[in-house]
Structure 1
Amino acid sequence: MSEAPTLHGLPFPAGLLYAPAHNLWLREEPDGSVTLGLCAYGCALYGEIFAFTAKRAGLHIDAGRSFGVVEFAKAASSARSPLAGELVEGNPRVLQQPALINRDCYGAGWLVRIRPDDWPAARGDFVSGAEALEAFAEQMRLDNFDPEAPGVQALRWKT
């Protein structure tokens, strides 16, 4: 298996879609739902995550609205959905083990599953491959992200 493309040492696996403005990855599931998770860049920005609480299953989430709360180093932030749909489930494992988000953000540390209102229309809003790397490079520039900052160095993924 080939290594994931990286940007400043942070991996962005191929085969996923990305919402750079939300620091999320998306994966289409066979049942029509879409799994969302915090990407490596989001994890680097937040640092160690202490808790994630998803909103209740069955709730309709509008694009740009919160699907849950991420708690990290003396702060909390709303995790905002890049697409509209029904919240199918929050990841029960991250409720018990929030460190999974930092340790395995693209696997066991996923956040929620949403059944999109109109996936064919929404899908075009997301990027993958080289386009995703370019979009994250621009997002990092806008965020004044310093990949050499001591806190970021500690969070670098080994690829």
Structure 2
Amino acid sequence: MNVNGLEFPDDLLYAAEHNLWLREEPDGSVTLGLTAYGCALYGQIFAFTPKRDNAHIECDRSFGVVEFAKAASSARSPLAGIMLASNHNVVRNPALINKDCYASGWLIRIKPDDWPATQARLLSGQAAAEAFAERMRLDDYNPQDDGVQALRGNPH
């Protein structure tokens, strides 16, 4: 789906309030990454510093820090669980987040404490599109603003 020129793949789940996408893996773990809207808001990302592997992450608590042009932001998890791994390629080359946020630019994998309860709170399809459209409206997001939009011409 496309919202204001930004792509949100239909096969993912979304936590709009965290600007994150989630994908359940065959082994029951969940991969998290920053959405195209999160990338557009941050602009060029200069660093991702994750918590250590095997740390227990609480819901709405930080799993790492994302550094961008003039600030840093705590990346907060929409679910509780054990952090299985961070994306070491992104730690070494954070530009992957902006280049391919839905594939090679993923951030962490987590073993959820209660995936069914979390899944029930996540959005997909039209509900996700509406939630992101509303966030963009509330944020006064302007897809034509070069100061905000770091993804112009990028399909992700």
In structure 1, what is the equivalent of residue 132 of structure 2?
Answer: 136
- 1:152 CA drift (Å): 3.8
Q: What are the superposed Cα offsets for residues 3-51 of structure 1, whole Å, 9 maximum, x if unpaired?
A: xx21111000110000000000000001111000000000000000001
How far apart, CA to CA, are the structure 2 residues paired with 1:154 and 1:19? 21
Q: 1:57 to 1:79 in 2, by over 3 A?
A: same
Which 4+ stretches in 1 moved above 3 angstroms?
Answer: none
The 5 Å alignment of 1:48-127 reads 48-127=44-123
Q: CA deviation at 1:154?
A: 4.8
- Cα distance change on mapping 1:30 and 1:67 into 2, 3 Å: same
Amino acid at match of 1:20: A
For the 8 Å contact 1:94–1:111, the answer to whether it is kept is yes
Q: Cα deviations across residues 76-131 of structure 1 (Å, max 9, x unaligned)?
A: 10000001111111101001111000000000000001110000111011111111
DSSP 3-state at the match of 2:47:
strand
Map residues 140-151 of structure 1 onto 2, 5 A cutoff: 140-151=136-147
Letter in 1 for 2:39: C
Pair 1:78–1:40, CA change in 2 (3 A): same
TM-score, structure 1 normalization: 0.93
Is this contact kept in 2: 1:10–1:156, CA < 8 A? no
Please tell me whether the aligned partners of residues 23 and 31 of structure 2 are also in contact (alpha carbons under 8 angstroms): yes
Number of residue pairs matched by the alignment: 155
> Hey, what does 1:41 align to over in structure 2?
37
Whether the 8 Å CA contact 1:47–1:72 is kept in 2: the answer is yes
Q: Structure 1: any 5+ residue segments left out of the alignment?
A: none
Q: Is the 8 A contact 2:35 2:101 kept in 1?
A: yes
AA at the equivalent of 1:53: T
**Amino acid corresponding to residue 30 of structure 2 in structure 1:** V
Q: Find the residue that maps to 1:14 and give its secondary structure.
A: coil
State the alpha-carbon separation in 2 of the partners of residues 101 and 154 from structure 1.
11
Give the aligned CA root-mean-square deviation in angstroms. Answer: 1.1
Q: Percent identity at matched positions?
A: 66
Residue aligning to 2:25 = 29
| Matches of 1:127 and 1:134, distance apart in 2 | 10
Change (3 A) 1:76 1:158: closer
Task: List runs of 5+ in structure 2 lacking aligned partners.
Answer: none
